[in-house]
Every structure is written in structure tokens, then in C-alpha cells.
């Protein structure tokens, strides 16, 4: 009922940020089972981004990557075990790890020099340990439009 009462057209006129979360390479990589290409996430992100770039109220564009190789991230004993299970049995070298953590080519082509690019370093949130919260505060963003990739709702809900 609440959503029916919200005027989304009015809300989207406020200072806004576009945020892409975890739209990493995955075809044949460690995240290949996620299949975000097949779910339609990439075309939807491109369409949303192009509309946001045309809108004068979008003041911030953010690309937040997702890394399953978390050996060097801060972690407690629970994180350590969870992170280890993500990569258990994978036989990858450093080059492959870097590729898995990069933004997909279709989106990398659309990144502009002033866009903020970072990687999530706290489990399922972009608001801890990244420059993202400061970006939102400095630009006085009131509305955030999220497009999620590899991990769909998990990372967006966490953020």
C-alpha cells in the first residue's frame, strides 16, 4: 500500500546517485554460476545508466565491485570461514583473480573519469570501508538508484 502512495516521479527529481553493485566478470570465472548476463541485469543497467546520465539531477555515478577473494580484507573468524568456502577448490592464478574482480566490458566502456569506482570490503555492504558514503554526503544525494549484478539483492539489501 505504501508504494502506491509514493510519487516515484517526484522522488526521482531529487539529487540522485546511480550505483552499480557487483557487476563483475563472471562468464567462465569463479562467479559464472550467477549468470547475470542471462538474467537481463546488464541491459537493464545500461538502460538505467543512460537515462541517469541525461538527467540533470543525477550528481553521482558509482561502480562498486564485489570480490570473492577476500584473503586480505579485514575479517573476524566467521568471515574467514565464509570467505574460504567461496574459493574452496578453485584453481586460479593472480591474473584470473584480477579478471574476476573487474567490471564487465559492456559497463567498463560506459565509466566516465569522474565516476567513483571501488570494491566492497565489508560483507554485503558498500557503506563500510569504501568512499561511497562520503561521496553521497559531499554531493548531498537524497535518492539512490541501485543496479545489482552478480549477487542480485544480497548486496543491495546489505547496503
- Evaluate whether residue 5 is within a structural domain: no
The β-bridge relationship of strands 143-148 and 16-21 is: parallel
pLDDT in tens, 87-121: 788 888 888 888 888 888 899 999 999 999 988 77
| Structural contact between residues 145 and 48, judged by C-beta atoms closer than 8 angstroms | yes
CA distance 70 to 75: 9
- Evaluate whether residue 2 is within a structural domain: no
- Evaluate whether residue 9 is within a structural domain: no
pLDDT band of 52, cuts 50, 70, 90? very high
- Evaluate whether residue 139 is within a structural domain: yes
pLDDT in tens, 22-44: 787 765 555 555 565 666 778 88
Look at residues 117, 134, 120 and name the one whose alpha carbon lies nearest to residue 79: 120
**Least confidently predicted of 6-20, 40-54, 67-81:** 67-81
User: How many domains does the chain fold into?
Assistant: 1
What Rg do the C-alpha atoms of the chain give, in angstroms?
Answer: 16
pTM of the predicted protein model: 0.80
Percent of the chain past pLDDT 70, that is, above it, reads 81
- Evaluate whether residue 8 is within a structural domain: no
3-state SS assignment for residue 73? coil
Domain that holds residue 87: 16-158
Q: What is the CATH number of the domain that holds 96?
A: 3.40.50.850
Look at residues 155, 138, 154, 158 and name the one whose alpha carbon lies nearest to residue 59: 138
| Structural contact between residues 35 and 119, judged by C-beta atoms closer than 8 angstroms | no
Between 28 and 53, the higher pLDDT residue: 53
Amino acid at each position: 500500500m505504501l508504494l502506491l502512495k509514493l510519487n516515484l516521479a517526484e522522488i526521482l527529481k531529487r539529487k540522485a546517485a546511480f550505483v552499480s553493485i557487483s557487476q563483475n566478470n563472471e562468464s567462465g570465472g569463479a562467479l559464472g554460476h550467477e549468470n547475470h548476463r542471462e538474467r537481463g541485469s546488464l541491459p537493464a543497467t545500461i538502460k538505467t545508466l543512460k537515462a541517469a546520465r541525461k538527467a540533470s539531477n543525477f550528481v553521482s555515478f558509482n561502480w562498486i565491485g564485489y570480490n570473492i577473494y577476500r584473503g586480505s580484507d579485514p575479517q573476524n573468524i566467521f568471515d574467514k570461514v565464509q570467505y574460504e568456502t567461496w574459493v574452496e577448490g578453485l584453481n586460479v592464478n593472480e591474473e584470473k583473480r584480477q579478471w574476476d574482480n573487474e567490471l564487465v566490458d559492456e559497463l567498463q566502456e560506459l565509466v566516465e573519469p569522474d565516476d567513483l569506482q571501488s570494491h566492497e570490503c565489508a560483507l554485503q555492504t558498500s557503506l563500510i570501508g569504501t568512499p561511497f558514503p562520503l561521496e553521497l554526503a559531499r554531493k548531498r544525494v537524497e535518492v539512490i538508484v541501485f543496479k545489482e549484478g552478480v549477487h542480485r539483492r544480497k548486496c543491495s539489501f546489505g547496503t
